[in-house]
Amino acid sequence: MKSKLLLVVAFLLLAGQADASAQGLLKKIGKTVKKEVVDRTKKEVNKQVKKKGKASSDNNKQQQESPQQNQEQSFESSNERHLRILEERGEIARTTVAESQPSTGPAKGKTNGHEWVDLGLPSGTRWATCNIGATQPHLPGVLYAWGEKAAKTSYVPENSKTHGKEMDDISGNATYDVATAKWGNGWRMPTKEEFDELLEYCPFPQYVKQNGRYGQLFTNQQSGRTLFLPTTGSKEMGSRHEEANTCGLYWTSTPYKDSFLNGAHQYHYGAAMGEMGVGERSSGFAVRAVIDNDAMIKIPAQGATNGHEWVDLGLPSGTKWATCNIGAKSAEEYGKTFGWAKLTPKEGESRQKNEAQGKDMGDIGGDASYDTATALWGDGWRMPSMENFKELMDNCTWEYTKLGRVNGCKGISKINGNYIFFPIQFYENIAKYWSSTPSKYSNSESMLFVVYEKYVSASKNSGRRSDDFPIRPVTK
């Protein structure tokens, strides 16, 4: 009987589809059997990892032996293919972008009285060391329904405030985010993407016991820093506290939109493994807060003109670059988008009528009648010319990274080490920025600076003046 139970539980744990059921069996068959199951499971997992590694090695070898076949099977996105053709024609100058390495800032710190640890994740996200409602890392804290800020005596769909509602991600929204509401000052619930990042860079968390309570210990293999998520159990379909000492269930801020409007993404684990899943919003799960790396959010500015900050990159021309786009309050925000030579931002989905379309025009930099930066930010500010963009591109090294939760390219000055960030919030991870320079070939087009995950470019290709793109101003 014991042997059969061992096989059943090991199968459940390795399948990763019925961890809660496995935990129930483990609870019934006792601690001795539990240890044996976990030991056997670990051995089996190690075997599978080794097999996977060997298969990957064999696959790489096969790929090296058949480069032509692999080349035929490779895939290029439409943007990558288009820009590659332009480069081959000599119509585009571009600089490759390196992927940034995980941050290695202060290992620990405290914000608003709550401690965090910087695990060295690429996003710079810092994770709280305790659950919401807990005073020590090993304590489970308070269980909350998704999108709610207070504990309840009963957790059912009928009293859920978000059940059946169409919701966006609630991270940082004090109306629904319990971390923001309780801890304030930048604290928020982690998104599904941030939990995915934690699992990617801290793989194979250990199921360990700390201060009398089991939990998962995540370790970043590069930085060596750790995070402990204690067992919490859950409250579902009523008030009963299930699996309080064997399983951990944690909410993300991300709603589940693929089916019914009553689910949200969550992370759960048992004795041997953990995985992302979807939970009923009315269920009571734990919340582990996160906070952005403040040093990354604030671009170090050297001055301000008319209330707008700029950074001095030591460029030969003496040009200073604004730290954020027009319409943005911080560097990671995308801001407003404008048609070329338009002084009002695009509103809604319809394209604006553009009076500059078809006109024979010179460079509009500094002309308040057409230059959006000059008109909105005042004298001293202007849209950058293509020469400004080329100078910026040539005098910086570029990294594809994140600022807060936003993808983008970070340009680090080769001259003085200061940096600038261009956010990407466009289809296929690409963003285009207007210059003040009109096209030489068409009165309906003007020049663009392109930010992409693999490169930045000062392009001889152009965009239609009626298109809407962001603007990053410059000053002297």
Q: Tell me the pLDDT tens digit for each residue of 395-441.
A: 999 888 877 667 888 899 999 989 999 998 755 578 899 999 999 88
Q: Which of 204, 272, 270, 218 is nearest to 14 (CA)?
A: 272
Q: What is the pLDDT of residue 36?
A: 39
Kindly report which listed range (35-44, 76-85, 280-289) carries the lowest average pLDDT score.
Answer: 35-44
Q: Rounded to an integer, what is the distance from CA 449 to the centroid of its chain?
A: 23
Q: What is the pLDDT of residue 85?
A: 55
Region 111-135: what's the mean pLDDT?
92
Same domain flag for 287 and 301: no
Same domain flag for 299 and 429: yes
* pLDDT-derived band at 274, boundaries 50, 70, 90: very high
More confident residue, 197 or 453: 197
Please state, in angstroms and rounded to a whole number, the distance separating the CA atoms of residues 51 and 249. Answer: 30
Residue 350 lies in a domain: yes
Same domain flag for 87 and 128: no
Q: What is the pLDDT of residue 344?
A: 93
Same domain flag for 245 and 361: no
DSSP codes joined into one string, 121-172: -TT--EEEEEETT-SSTTS----B-TT-SS--S-B-GGG-SSTT------TT
Region 345-364: what's the mean pLDDT?
80
Residue where one domain finishes, among candidates 258, 273, 292: 292
pLDDT > 90? residue 81: no
Residue 73 lies in a domain: no
Residue 85 lies in a domain: yes
How many CA atoms within 13 Å lie on the side-chain side of 48? 8
Same domain flag for 64 and 94: no
Instruction: Write the pLDDT tens digit of every residue in 45-65.
Output: 455 444 445 444 454 444 444
More confident residue, 404 or 93: 404
Please state, in angstroms and rounded to a whole number, the distance separating the CA atoms of residues 271 and 27. Answer: 11
Q: Give me the torsion for CA of 59, 62, 67, 69, rounded to 10°.
A: -80
Structural domain boundaries enclosing 94: 79-101+295-475
Same domain flag for 299 and 284: no
Same domain flag for 7 and 151: no
- Is residue 299 within 8 Å of residue 323, measured between CB atoms? yes
Same domain flag for 278 and 332: no
More confident residue, 347 or 169: 169
Residue 346 lies in a domain: yes
pLDDT > 90? residue 265: yes
pLDDT > 70? residue 206: yes
| 200 φ/ψ angles, rounded to the nearest 5 degrees | -70, -40
- Is residue 219 within 8 Å of residue 202, measured between CB atoms? yes
Q: How many domains does the chain have?
A: 3
Instruction: Write the pLDDT tens digit of every residue in 219-257.
Output: 998 889 999 999 999 998 888 898 999 999 999 999 998
Residue where one domain finishes, among candidates 233, 257, 292: 292
Q: Which of 263, 265, 285, 256 is nearest to 163 (CA)?
A: 263
Residue 128 lies in a domain: yes
- Is residue 333 within 8 Å of residue 460, measured between CB atoms? no
How many CA atoms within 13 Å lie on the side-chain side of 468? 18
- Is residue 255 within 8 Å of residue 191, measured between CB atoms? no
Same domain flag for 352 and 232: no
Residue 123 lies in a domain: yes
Residue 74 lies in a domain: no
Residue 136 lies in a domain: yes
* pLDDT-derived band at 294, boundaries 50, 70, 90: low
Q: What is the pLDDT of residue 348?
A: 61
Same domain flag for 150 and 204: yes
Mark residue 401 as left, alpha or beta (left: phi above 0; alpha: psi -120 to 50; beta: remaining): beta
